[in-house]
């Protein structure tokens, strides 16, 4: 994930990934869909980052789909 995306920086961080997970739980459906799409595009790289795995897991739980 490139550093041009704030999400990329947040998922690398022990606390930032928690914030992303919580945001997914409180935003409206449209915002959640946009965030999930951004995450979906980065799944291969997220799986390589320890905290990124938590994000992928959270999205899978919310969508009921394996990424």
What pTM does this model have? Answer: 0.81
47 lies in a domain? yes
Domain housing 44: 6-63
SS (H, E, C) the chain: CCCCCHHHHHHHCCCHHHHHHHHHHHCCHHHHHHHHHHHHCCHHHHCCCCCHHHHHHHHHHHHCCCC
Give 27-45 pLDDT, tens digit per residue. Answer: 999 999 999 998 999 899 8
CA distance 59 to 67: 8
Residue 1 in any domain: the answer is no
- Does the pLDDT value for residue 4 go beyond 90? no
Q: pLDDT tens digits, residue range 6-30?
A: 887 898 888 999 999 999 999 999 9
User: What local confidence, expressed as pLDDT, does residue 32 receive?
Assistant: 95
Give the total number of structural domains in the chain. Answer: 1
């Amino acid at each position: 994930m490139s550093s041009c995306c704030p999400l990329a920086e947040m998922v690398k961080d022990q606390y930032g990934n928690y914030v992303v997970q919580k945001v997914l739980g409180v935003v409206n459906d449209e915002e959640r869909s946009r965030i999930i799409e951004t995450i979906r595009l980065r799944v291969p790289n997220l799986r390589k980052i320890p905290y990124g795995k938590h994000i992928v897991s959270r999205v899978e739980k919310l969508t009921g789909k394996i990424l």
